[in-house]
Structure 1
Amino acid sequence: MKLSPAMFILSDFGRYPPNIANIDKDIIVPYKHVVKSFADDESGFESRPTLLYFQGAIQRKSGGFIRHELFNLLKNEKNVHFSFGTVQRDGIRKATQGMRSSKFCLNIAGDTPSSNRLFDAIASHCVPVIISDDIELPYEDVLDYSKFCIFIRNSDALKKNFLVNYIRGIGKEEWTRMWEKLKEVESFYEFQYPSKEGDAVQMIWQAIARKVPAMRRKLHKTSRFSHHTAPVKLRSVRSRHDFL
Protein backbone atom coordinates (compact mmCIF):
# COMPACT_ATOMS: atom_id res chain seq x y z
CA MET A 1 0.00 0.00 0.00
CA LYS A 2 2.90 2.37 0.71
CA LEU A 3 4.26 1.77 -2.80
CA SER A 4 0.92 1.96 -4.62
CA PRO A 5 1.32 5.64 -5.66
CA ALA A 6 4.54 4.73 -7.50
CA MET A 7 4.62 3.73 -11.16
CA PHE A 8 5.10 -0.03 -11.43
CA ILE A 9 6.81 -1.73 -14.36
CA LEU A 10 5.09 -5.11 -14.67
CA SER A 11 4.54 -7.93 -17.12
CA ASP A 12 1.06 -8.64 -15.77
CA PHE A 13 -1.60 -7.30 -13.39
CA GLY A 14 -2.75 -10.80 -12.51
CA ARG A 15 -1.32 -10.80 -8.98
CA TYR A 16 -2.24 -7.24 -8.00
CA PRO A 17 -5.56 -5.67 -6.92
CA PRO A 18 -6.56 -2.70 -9.12
CA ASN A 19 -6.10 -0.16 -6.33
CA ILE A 20 -2.41 -1.13 -6.19
CA ALA A 21 -1.59 -1.62 -9.89
CA ASN A 22 -3.56 -0.58 -12.96
CA ILE A 23 -3.07 0.48 -16.56
CA ASP A 24 -3.74 4.17 -15.80
CA LYS A 25 -0.50 4.63 -13.85
CA ASP A 26 1.63 1.57 -14.54
CA ILE A 27 3.64 0.16 -17.45
CA ILE A 28 3.15 -3.29 -18.99
CA VAL A 29 6.38 -4.66 -20.45
CA PRO A 30 7.21 -7.85 -22.36
CA TYR A 31 8.61 -11.00 -20.86
CA LYS A 32 12.04 -11.93 -22.18
CA HIS A 33 11.36 -14.61 -24.77
CA VAL A 34 12.80 -18.05 -24.10
CA VAL A 35 13.28 -19.26 -27.68
CA LYS A 36 15.95 -17.71 -29.89
CA SER A 37 15.06 -14.98 -32.35
CA PHE A 38 14.38 -16.23 -35.87
CA ALA A 39 17.02 -14.43 -37.91
CA ASP A 40 16.81 -14.53 -41.72
CA ASP A 41 13.33 -16.07 -41.66
CA GLU A 42 12.45 -16.98 -45.23
CA SER A 43 9.64 -19.37 -44.32
CA GLY A 44 6.19 -18.89 -45.75
CA PHE A 45 2.62 -20.10 -45.54
CA GLU A 46 3.32 -23.42 -47.26
CA SER A 47 6.59 -24.13 -45.45
CA ARG A 48 4.92 -24.06 -42.03
CA PRO A 49 2.94 -27.33 -42.05
CA THR A 50 1.45 -27.09 -38.53
CA LEU A 51 -1.70 -24.98 -38.44
CA LEU A 52 -1.89 -24.29 -34.71
CA TYR A 53 0.74 -24.86 -32.01
CA PHE A 54 0.72 -25.00 -28.23
CA GLN A 55 3.24 -26.62 -25.92
CA GLY A 56 3.26 -25.93 -22.19
CA ALA A 57 1.56 -26.64 -18.89
CA ILE A 58 -2.02 -27.78 -19.47
CA GLN A 59 -3.21 -28.07 -15.87
CA ARG A 60 -3.20 -24.58 -14.30
CA LYS A 61 -4.95 -22.82 -11.44
CA SER A 62 -8.48 -21.40 -11.74
CA GLY A 63 -7.49 -18.64 -14.17
CA GLY A 64 -6.05 -21.19 -16.58
CA PHE A 65 -8.87 -23.74 -16.65
CA ILE A 66 -9.39 -22.90 -20.32
CA ARG A 67 -6.14 -24.67 -21.26
CA HIS A 68 -7.50 -28.04 -20.19
CA GLU A 69 -10.81 -27.40 -21.95
CA LEU A 70 -9.04 -26.47 -25.19
CA PHE A 71 -6.80 -29.51 -24.97
CA ASN A 72 -9.90 -31.72 -25.00
CA LEU A 73 -11.34 -29.79 -27.96
CA LEU A 74 -8.18 -29.74 -30.08
CA LYS A 75 -6.16 -32.85 -29.24
CA ASN A 76 -7.47 -34.85 -32.23
CA GLU A 77 -7.58 -32.03 -34.79
CA LYS A 78 -5.52 -32.43 -37.94
CA ASN A 79 -2.38 -30.25 -38.18
CA VAL A 80 -2.84 -29.03 -34.60
CA HIS A 81 -0.09 -29.59 -32.02
CA PHE A 82 -1.36 -29.27 -28.45
CA SER A 83 0.78 -31.02 -25.85
CA PHE A 84 2.40 -30.73 -22.45
CA GLY A 85 5.89 -29.29 -22.36
CA THR A 86 8.43 -27.53 -20.14
CA VAL A 87 11.67 -25.59 -20.59
CA GLN A 88 13.61 -28.44 -18.99
CA ARG A 89 15.81 -30.90 -20.88
CA ASP A 90 15.07 -30.52 -24.60
CA GLY A 91 11.94 -28.39 -24.16
CA ILE A 92 13.25 -25.09 -25.53
CA ARG A 93 14.69 -26.68 -28.66
CA LYS A 94 11.42 -28.50 -29.35
CA ALA A 95 9.40 -25.34 -28.77
CA THR A 96 11.68 -23.36 -31.09
CA GLN A 97 11.33 -25.95 -33.84
CA GLY A 98 7.58 -26.27 -33.29
CA MET A 99 6.85 -22.55 -33.41
CA ARG A 100 9.01 -21.96 -36.46
CA SER A 101 7.14 -24.68 -38.34
CA SER A 102 3.66 -23.42 -37.35
CA LYS A 103 1.43 -20.77 -38.89
CA PHE A 104 -0.36 -19.83 -35.64
CA CYS A 105 0.68 -20.16 -32.00
CA LEU A 106 -1.80 -20.28 -29.13
CA ASN A 107 -1.34 -17.90 -26.23
CA ILE A 108 -3.82 -18.99 -23.54
CA ALA A 109 -4.32 -17.53 -20.07
CA GLY A 110 -2.57 -19.53 -17.36
CA ASP A 111 -2.22 -18.68 -13.67
CA THR A 112 -2.21 -15.03 -14.82
CA PRO A 113 -3.58 -13.47 -18.03
CA SER A 114 -0.23 -13.44 -19.87
CA SER A 115 2.91 -15.52 -20.27
CA ASN A 116 6.22 -15.42 -22.10
CA ARG A 117 4.69 -17.73 -24.75
CA LEU A 118 3.30 -14.69 -26.60
CA PHE A 119 6.79 -13.24 -26.96
CA ASP A 120 8.21 -16.61 -27.99
CA ALA A 121 5.62 -16.62 -30.78
CA ILE A 122 6.57 -13.10 -31.87
CA ALA A 123 10.27 -14.04 -31.90
CA SER A 124 9.37 -17.09 -34.02
CA HIS A 125 7.15 -15.10 -36.43
CA CYS A 126 4.31 -17.48 -35.56
CA VAL A 127 1.08 -15.44 -35.62
CA PRO A 128 -0.17 -15.33 -32.00
CA VAL A 129 -3.74 -16.43 -31.25
CA ILE A 130 -4.54 -14.76 -27.93
CA ILE A 131 -7.22 -16.35 -25.77
CA SER A 132 -7.12 -14.30 -22.58
CA ASP A 133 -9.92 -11.81 -21.95
CA ASP A 134 -8.04 -9.85 -19.27
CA ILE A 135 -4.63 -9.61 -20.88
CA GLU A 136 -2.83 -6.26 -20.99
CA LEU A 137 -0.20 -5.86 -23.70
CA PRO A 138 3.03 -3.83 -23.88
CA TYR A 139 2.94 -0.50 -25.73
CA GLU A 140 -0.70 -0.97 -26.76
CA ASP A 141 -1.22 2.80 -26.70
CA VAL A 142 1.01 3.01 -29.80
CA LEU A 143 0.80 -0.52 -31.28
CA ASP A 144 -2.26 -2.06 -32.93
CA TYR A 145 -1.92 -5.73 -32.05
CA SER A 146 -4.77 -6.69 -34.37
CA LYS A 147 -2.30 -6.16 -37.24
CA PHE A 148 -0.23 -9.17 -36.17
CA CYS A 149 -2.31 -11.11 -33.62
CA ILE A 150 -5.64 -12.93 -33.57
CA PHE A 151 -7.89 -12.33 -30.55
CA ILE A 152 -10.51 -14.89 -29.55
CA ARG A 153 -12.85 -14.43 -26.59
CA ASN A 154 -12.70 -17.18 -23.97
CA SER A 155 -16.40 -17.96 -24.43
CA ASP A 156 -16.01 -18.34 -28.21
CA ALA A 157 -12.87 -20.47 -27.93
CA LEU A 158 -14.76 -23.02 -25.84
CA LYS A 159 -17.46 -23.52 -28.46
CA LYS A 160 -17.00 -26.78 -30.32
CA ASN A 161 -15.13 -26.30 -33.64
CA PHE A 162 -15.22 -22.48 -33.35
CA LEU A 163 -11.50 -21.92 -32.87
CA VAL A 164 -10.17 -24.37 -35.43
CA ASN A 165 -12.72 -23.28 -38.06
CA TYR A 166 -11.85 -19.64 -37.48
CA ILE A 167 -8.13 -20.28 -37.90
CA ARG A 168 -8.64 -22.46 -40.98
CA GLY A 169 -10.58 -19.59 -42.51
CA ILE A 170 -7.53 -17.28 -42.50
CA GLY A 171 -5.96 -17.50 -45.93
CA LYS A 172 -2.42 -17.13 -47.19
CA GLU A 173 -2.67 -13.44 -48.04
CA GLU A 174 -3.97 -12.38 -44.63
CA TRP A 175 -1.51 -14.63 -42.79
CA THR A 176 1.41 -13.28 -44.82
CA ARG A 177 0.48 -9.68 -43.93
CA MET A 178 0.56 -10.57 -40.22
CA TRP A 179 3.79 -12.56 -40.63
CA GLU A 180 5.47 -9.56 -42.29
CA LYS A 181 4.22 -7.27 -39.52
CA LEU A 182 5.68 -9.60 -36.87
CA LYS A 183 9.09 -9.16 -38.46
CA GLU A 184 8.63 -5.38 -38.35
CA VAL A 185 7.78 -5.23 -34.63
CA GLU A 186 9.95 -8.04 -33.23
CA SER A 187 12.75 -5.65 -32.19
CA PHE A 188 10.36 -3.94 -29.75
CA TYR A 189 10.48 -7.11 -27.63
CA GLU A 190 14.26 -7.61 -27.65
CA PHE A 191 16.14 -6.76 -24.45
CA GLN A 192 19.69 -5.76 -25.36
CA TYR A 193 22.75 -4.48 -23.57
CA PRO A 194 23.80 -1.95 -24.51
CA SER A 195 20.34 -0.85 -25.55
CA LYS A 196 19.71 0.04 -29.19
CA GLU A 197 17.14 2.30 -30.79
CA GLY A 198 13.75 0.58 -31.10
CA ASP A 199 14.48 -2.29 -28.70
CA ALA A 200 12.49 -3.23 -25.58
CA VAL A 201 14.52 -1.00 -23.26
CA GLN A 202 13.91 2.08 -25.42
CA MET A 203 10.23 1.21 -25.86
CA ILE A 204 9.79 0.93 -22.08
CA TRP A 205 11.39 4.32 -21.44
CA GLN A 206 9.15 5.85 -24.11
CA ALA A 207 6.10 4.26 -22.47
CA ILE A 208 7.15 5.80 -19.14
CA ALA A 209 7.58 9.19 -20.81
CA ARG A 210 4.06 8.99 -22.23
CA LYS A 211 2.69 8.56 -18.68
CA VAL A 212 4.42 11.71 -17.39
CA PRO A 213 1.94 14.37 -18.67
CA ALA A 214 -1.01 12.63 -17.01
CA MET A 215 0.96 12.25 -13.77
CA ARG A 216 1.98 15.91 -13.89
CA ARG A 217 -1.64 16.91 -14.47
CA LYS A 218 -2.75 14.97 -11.39
CA LEU A 219 0.05 16.47 -9.32
CA HIS A 220 -0.86 20.00 -10.38
CA LYS A 221 -4.53 19.34 -9.68
CA THR A 222 -3.81 18.23 -6.11
CA SER A 223 -1.86 21.44 -5.46
CA ARG A 224 -4.56 23.87 -6.65
CA PHE A 225 -5.32 25.25 -3.21
CA SER A 226 -2.15 24.40 -1.33
CA HIS A 227 -0.57 27.86 -1.76
CA HIS A 228 -3.45 29.98 -0.48
CA THR A 229 -5.20 28.05 2.26
CA ALA A 230 -7.39 30.09 4.58
CA PRO A 231 -5.61 31.17 7.76
CA VAL A 232 -6.57 29.38 10.93
CA LYS A 233 -8.88 31.52 13.09
CA LEU A 234 -7.86 31.43 16.74
CA ARG A 235 -10.42 31.83 19.47
CA SER A 236 -9.60 34.48 22.06
CA VAL A 237 -8.70 33.16 25.48
CA ARG A 238 -10.54 34.72 28.35
CA SER A 239 -8.76 35.54 31.58
CA ARG A 240 -9.79 33.98 34.84
CA HIS A 241 -11.29 37.32 35.86
CA ASP A 242 -13.96 37.04 33.13
CA PHE A 243 -15.42 34.11 34.96
CA LEU A 244 -15.53 35.75 38.37
Structure 2
Amino acid sequence: MGDGRIPHSVGFERRRYLFCLFTVSVFVFVFSWFFFLQSAGSPHFIEHGFLPDKKLFSVVDNFKSTPRDLSKEHHESPPTIATIQDEVKEQPSACEPNKTTLKVFMYDLPSEFHFGLLGWKGTDSVWPDISNGVPDYPGGLNLQHSTEYWLTLDLLSSRFSNRRGPCNAVRVDNSSKADIIFVPFFSSLSYNRYSKVNPKEKVSLNRALQDKLVAYLRVQHEWKRSGGRDHVILAHHPNSMLDARMKLWPCMFILSDFGRYPPNVANIDKDIIAPYKHVIRNYDNDSSTFDSRPILLYFQGAIYRKD
Protein backbone atom coordinates (compact mmCIF):
# COMPACT_ATOMS: atom_id res chain seq x y z
CA MET A 1 0.00 0.00 0.00
CA GLY A 2 2.85 2.35 0.85
CA ASP A 3 4.44 1.79 -2.56
CA GLY A 4 1.20 2.71 -4.34
CA ARG A 5 1.09 6.19 -2.80
CA ILE A 6 4.45 7.32 -4.16
CA PRO A 7 3.37 7.80 -7.80
CA HIS A 8 0.22 9.59 -6.65
CA SER A 9 2.15 12.07 -4.50
CA VAL A 10 4.71 12.66 -7.26
CA GLY A 11 1.94 13.41 -9.74
CA PHE A 12 0.30 15.81 -7.32
CA GLU A 13 3.53 17.70 -6.74
CA ARG A 14 4.10 17.95 -10.50
CA ARG A 15 0.60 19.33 -11.12
CA ARG A 16 1.02 21.84 -8.32
CA TYR A 17 4.33 23.01 -9.79
CA LEU A 18 2.78 23.46 -13.22
CA PHE A 19 -0.17 25.35 -11.74
CA CYS A 20 2.14 27.72 -9.85
CA LEU A 21 4.20 28.28 -12.98
CA PHE A 22 1.05 29.03 -14.97
CA THR A 23 -0.21 31.45 -12.29
CA VAL A 24 3.09 33.36 -12.22
CA SER A 25 3.16 33.54 -16.03
CA VAL A 26 -0.37 34.95 -16.18
CA PHE A 27 0.45 37.48 -13.47
CA VAL A 28 3.57 38.68 -15.31
CA PHE A 29 1.64 38.89 -18.57
CA VAL A 30 -1.18 40.98 -17.06
CA PHE A 31 1.27 43.17 -15.17
CA SER A 32 3.32 43.90 -18.32
CA TRP A 33 0.20 44.82 -20.30
CA PHE A 34 -0.88 47.16 -17.52
CA PHE A 35 2.36 49.13 -17.77
CA PHE A 36 2.29 49.04 -21.55
CA LEU A 37 -1.20 50.57 -21.72
CA GLN A 38 -0.30 53.16 -19.11
CA SER A 39 2.81 54.23 -21.01
CA ALA A 40 0.90 54.37 -24.30
CA GLY A 41 -1.64 56.72 -22.77
CA SER A 42 0.96 59.24 -21.62
CA PRO A 43 3.31 60.68 -24.25
CA HIS A 44 5.62 62.08 -21.55
CA PHE A 45 6.28 58.76 -19.82
CA ILE A 46 9.57 58.35 -21.75
CA GLU A 47 12.44 60.59 -20.77
CA HIS A 48 13.76 62.23 -23.94
CA GLY A 49 17.22 62.55 -22.48
CA PHE A 50 17.75 58.80 -22.86
CA LEU A 51 16.88 58.83 -26.56
CA PRO A 52 19.28 59.46 -29.47
CA ASP A 53 18.01 62.76 -30.81
CA LYS A 54 16.23 65.30 -28.60
CA LYS A 55 15.55 67.61 -31.55
CA LEU A 56 13.59 64.91 -33.31
CA PHE A 57 11.18 64.50 -30.40
CA SER A 58 10.82 68.24 -29.88
CA VAL A 59 9.72 68.53 -33.50
CA VAL A 60 7.20 65.72 -32.99
CA ASP A 61 5.81 67.36 -29.84
CA ASN A 62 5.44 70.69 -31.61
CA PHE A 63 3.74 68.97 -34.51
CA LYS A 64 1.18 67.42 -32.14
CA SER A 65 0.47 70.58 -30.16
CA THR A 66 0.45 73.11 -33.01
CA PRO A 67 -2.09 72.75 -35.84
CA ARG A 68 -0.71 73.06 -39.35
CA ASP A 69 -1.65 76.12 -41.34
CA LEU A 70 -2.11 74.68 -44.82
CA SER A 71 -2.80 78.07 -46.34
CA LYS A 72 0.75 79.19 -45.57
CA GLU A 73 2.25 75.99 -46.91
CA HIS A 74 0.66 76.40 -50.32
CA HIS A 75 1.45 80.11 -50.62
CA GLU A 76 5.11 80.16 -49.68
CA SER A 77 7.10 82.27 -52.10
CA PRO A 78 9.69 80.46 -54.23
CA PRO A 79 13.39 81.14 -53.61
CA THR A 80 14.63 84.34 -55.16
CA ILE A 81 17.79 84.90 -57.17
CA ALA A 82 19.31 86.64 -54.16
CA THR A 83 18.80 83.65 -51.85
CA ILE A 84 20.24 81.27 -54.44
CA GLN A 85 23.28 83.51 -54.87
CA ASP A 86 23.79 83.56 -51.10
CA GLU A 87 23.77 79.76 -51.01
CA VAL A 88 26.30 79.61 -53.84
CA LYS A 89 28.56 82.09 -52.05
CA GLU A 90 28.65 79.82 -49.00
CA GLN A 91 30.15 77.01 -51.07
CA PRO A 92 33.92 77.08 -51.59
CA SER A 93 34.80 78.67 -54.92
CA ALA A 94 38.30 77.18 -54.98
CA CYS A 95 40.08 74.10 -53.75
CA GLU A 96 40.81 74.49 -50.04
CA PRO A 97 43.41 71.86 -49.02
CA ASN A 98 42.52 72.04 -45.33
CA LYS A 99 38.86 71.23 -46.01
CA THR A 100 39.22 68.38 -48.47
CA THR A 101 37.77 64.96 -47.77
CA LEU A 102 40.79 62.95 -48.88
CA LYS A 103 44.52 63.62 -48.58
CA VAL A 104 46.52 61.75 -51.20
CA PHE A 105 50.24 61.09 -51.48
CA MET A 106 51.26 60.43 -55.09
CA TYR A 107 54.53 58.77 -56.02
CA ASP A 108 56.80 60.77 -58.31
CA LEU A 109 57.19 57.89 -60.73
CA PRO A 110 59.41 58.45 -63.77
CA SER A 111 57.52 59.80 -66.77
CA GLU A 112 57.82 56.46 -68.58
CA PHE A 113 55.00 55.21 -66.34
CA HIS A 114 52.52 57.97 -67.17
CA PHE A 115 52.80 60.98 -69.48
CA GLY A 116 55.85 59.54 -71.22
CA LEU A 117 53.49 56.92 -72.66
CA LEU A 118 51.75 59.84 -74.41
CA GLY A 119 54.97 61.02 -76.00
CA TRP A 120 55.71 63.73 -73.44
CA LYS A 121 59.38 64.13 -72.55
CA GLY A 122 60.31 65.99 -69.40
CA THR A 123 63.67 67.56 -68.67
CA ASP A 124 63.62 69.10 -65.20
CA SER A 125 60.60 67.30 -63.74
CA VAL A 126 58.80 63.99 -63.97
CA TRP A 127 55.53 65.91 -64.35
CA PRO A 128 54.45 68.24 -67.15
CA ASP A 129 53.59 71.84 -66.32
CA ILE A 130 49.86 71.44 -66.80
CA SER A 131 49.25 75.11 -66.01
CA ASN A 132 50.60 75.83 -69.51
CA GLY A 133 49.06 72.86 -71.29
CA VAL A 134 48.08 69.24 -70.84
CA PRO A 135 49.42 66.35 -72.96
CA ASP A 136 46.65 65.02 -75.19
CA TYR A 137 45.12 61.63 -74.48
CA PRO A 138 44.41 59.40 -77.49
CA GLY A 139 40.82 58.99 -78.65
CA GLY A 140 38.91 55.97 -79.86
CA LEU A 141 38.79 52.94 -77.59
CA ASN A 142 41.42 54.46 -75.31
CA LEU A 143 38.90 56.97 -73.97
CA GLN A 144 36.82 54.45 -72.07
CA HIS A 145 39.83 53.58 -69.88
CA SER A 146 41.08 57.15 -69.39
CA THR A 147 40.33 57.17 -65.64
CA GLU A 148 44.06 57.01 -64.88
CA TYR A 149 44.70 60.14 -66.93
CA TRP A 150 41.98 62.26 -65.32
CA LEU A 151 42.68 61.22 -61.74
CA THR A 152 46.36 62.08 -62.12
CA LEU A 153 45.54 65.48 -63.63
CA ASP A 154 43.09 66.17 -60.82
CA LEU A 155 45.75 65.54 -58.18
CA LEU A 156 48.37 67.59 -60.02
CA SER A 157 46.00 70.57 -60.17
CA SER A 158 44.57 70.19 -56.66
CA ARG A 159 46.92 72.80 -55.18
CA PHE A 160 46.62 75.41 -57.91
CA SER A 161 45.74 78.74 -56.33
CA ASN A 162 43.56 79.66 -59.29
CA ARG A 163 41.74 76.34 -59.52
CA ARG A 164 38.01 76.82 -59.97
CA GLY A 165 35.49 74.93 -57.91
CA PRO A 166 35.95 72.77 -54.81
CA CYS A 167 38.06 69.62 -54.73
CA ASN A 168 37.42 66.40 -52.85
CA ALA A 169 41.03 65.20 -52.86
CA VAL A 170 44.28 67.11 -52.50
CA ARG A 171 47.85 66.02 -53.02
CA VAL A 172 50.15 66.12 -50.00
CA ASP A 173 53.94 65.85 -49.88
CA ASN A 174 54.18 63.93 -46.61
CA SER A 175 52.96 60.35 -46.94
CA SER A 176 52.43 60.05 -43.18
CA LYS A 177 49.67 62.68 -43.43
CA ALA A 178 47.94 60.98 -46.36
CA ASP A 179 44.82 58.85 -46.26
CA ILE A 180 45.82 56.86 -49.33
CA ILE A 181 48.86 56.39 -51.59
CA PHE A 182 48.22 56.87 -55.31
CA VAL A 183 50.31 55.01 -57.91
CA PRO A 184 50.22 57.03 -61.19
CA PHE A 185 50.82 54.24 -63.69
CA PHE A 186 48.78 54.52 -66.90
CA SER A 187 48.35 50.76 -67.05
CA SER A 188 45.45 50.70 -69.53
CA LEU A 189 47.28 52.95 -71.97
CA SER A 190 50.38 50.81 -71.52
CA TYR A 191 48.42 47.70 -72.46
CA ASN A 192 46.64 49.28 -75.43
CA ARG A 193 49.80 50.73 -76.96
CA TYR A 194 52.75 48.67 -75.80
CA SER A 195 51.64 45.10 -75.09
CA LYS A 196 53.16 43.68 -78.28
CA VAL A 197 56.75 42.47 -78.28
CA ASN A 198 58.87 44.45 -80.71
CA PRO A 199 61.58 42.80 -82.83
CA LYS A 200 64.87 42.18 -81.02
CA GLU A 201 63.10 42.42 -77.63
CA LYS A 202 62.33 39.54 -75.29
CA VAL A 203 59.41 41.18 -73.48
CA SER A 204 57.00 43.95 -74.32
CA LEU A 205 57.31 47.44 -72.88
CA ASN A 206 54.05 46.85 -71.02
CA ARG A 207 55.50 43.78 -69.27
CA ALA A 208 58.78 45.58 -68.53
CA LEU A 209 56.96 48.52 -66.92
CA GLN A 210 54.95 46.19 -64.70
CA ASP A 211 58.12 44.45 -63.52
CA LYS A 212 59.74 47.82 -62.80
CA LEU A 213 56.67 48.98 -60.89
CA VAL A 214 56.62 45.90 -58.66
CA ALA A 215 60.33 46.29 -57.90
CA TYR A 216 59.86 50.00 -57.17
CA LEU A 217 56.90 49.59 -54.82
CA ARG A 218 58.37 46.74 -52.80
CA VAL A 219 61.29 48.86 -51.60
CA GLN A 220 59.23 51.93 -50.75
CA HIS A 221 58.72 52.82 -47.10
CA GLU A 222 55.01 53.47 -47.71
CA TRP A 223 54.45 49.99 -49.15
CA LYS A 224 56.36 48.28 -46.35
CA ARG A 225 54.46 50.27 -43.72
CA SER A 226 51.01 49.05 -44.79
CA GLY A 227 51.84 46.05 -46.93
CA GLY A 228 50.26 47.95 -49.82
CA ARG A 229 46.76 48.00 -48.35
CA ASP A 230 46.47 51.80 -48.54
CA HIS A 231 47.78 51.99 -52.13
CA VAL A 232 45.51 52.75 -55.09
CA ILE A 233 46.53 51.21 -58.42
CA LEU A 234 44.60 51.65 -61.65
CA ALA A 235 43.97 48.58 -63.78
CA HIS A 236 40.84 49.67 -65.59
CA HIS A 237 41.38 47.75 -68.80
CA PRO A 238 40.51 44.09 -68.08
CA ASN A 239 43.89 42.97 -69.46
CA SER A 240 46.04 45.65 -67.86
CA MET A 241 48.40 44.75 -64.99
CA LEU A 242 48.06 41.14 -66.09
CA ASP A 243 51.56 40.21 -64.90
CA ALA A 244 51.75 42.36 -61.76
CA ARG A 245 48.26 41.96 -60.31
CA MET A 246 49.10 38.75 -58.45
CA LYS A 247 52.07 40.44 -56.77
CA LEU A 248 50.28 43.67 -55.82
CA TRP A 249 46.95 42.17 -54.71
CA PRO A 250 46.84 43.77 -51.21
CA CYS A 251 46.33 47.20 -52.82
CA MET A 252 43.05 48.84 -53.82
CA PHE A 253 42.52 48.32 -57.54
CA ILE A 254 40.38 50.62 -59.67
CA LEU A 255 38.76 48.27 -62.17
CA SER A 256 36.00 48.19 -64.74
CA ASP A 257 34.70 44.86 -63.37
CA PHE A 258 35.83 41.69 -61.58
CA GLY A 259 35.49 39.48 -64.65
CA ARG A 260 39.10 38.37 -65.08
CA TYR A 261 40.32 38.40 -61.49
CA PRO A 262 40.31 35.62 -58.90
CA PRO A 263 38.35 36.69 -55.79
CA ASN A 264 41.42 36.68 -53.55
CA VAL A 265 43.09 39.29 -55.81
CA ALA A 266 40.15 41.59 -56.55
CA ASN A 267 36.85 41.75 -54.71
CA ILE A 268 34.14 44.16 -53.62
CA ASP A 269 35.49 44.41 -50.07
CA LYS A 270 38.64 46.34 -51.02
CA ASP A 271 38.49 47.44 -54.66
CA ILE A 272 36.66 50.12 -56.64
CA ILE A 273 34.63 49.74 -59.83
CA ALA A 274 34.79 52.77 -62.14
CA PRO A 275 32.43 52.66 -65.15
CA TYR A 276 33.60 53.00 -68.70
CA LYS A 277 33.71 56.48 -70.15
CA HIS A 278 30.49 57.27 -71.96
CA VAL A 279 30.93 56.34 -75.63
CA ILE A 280 27.30 55.83 -76.67
CA ARG A 281 26.10 57.86 -79.62
CA ASN A 282 23.24 60.30 -79.14
CA TYR A 283 19.78 59.30 -80.25
CA ASP A 284 18.54 60.69 -83.55
CA ASN A 285 16.72 64.02 -83.26
CA ASP A 286 17.44 64.15 -79.55
CA SER A 287 17.65 67.73 -78.30
CA SER A 288 17.87 66.90 -74.57
CA THR A 289 20.96 67.87 -72.61
CA PHE A 290 22.95 66.06 -69.95
CA ASP A 291 21.36 68.06 -67.12
CA SER A 292 17.85 67.33 -68.37
CA ARG A 293 18.33 63.57 -67.90
CA PRO A 294 17.90 62.83 -64.18
CA ILE A 295 18.25 59.04 -64.46
CA LEU A 296 21.36 57.11 -65.52
CA LEU A 297 20.23 53.93 -67.25
CA TYR A 298 23.52 52.22 -68.07
CA PHE A 299 27.14 52.56 -69.08
CA GLN A 300 28.33 50.84 -72.22
CA GLY A 301 31.86 50.26 -73.41
CA ALA A 302 32.90 49.85 -77.01
CA ILE A 303 34.55 46.45 -76.53
CA TYR A 304 32.54 43.25 -76.84
CA ARG A 305 33.26 41.23 -73.69
CA LYS A 306 33.29 37.50 -74.32
CA ASP A 307 33.24 36.68 -70.61
State the TM-score, normalized to the length of structure 1. 0.29
Find the structure with the greater CA-based Rg. Answer: 2
Q: Could you say which structure has the greater relative contact order, defined with CA pairs below 8 angstroms and 6 or more residues apart?
A: 1
State the TM-score, normalized to the length of structure 2. 0.24
User: Structure 1 or 2: larger helix share?
Assistant: 2
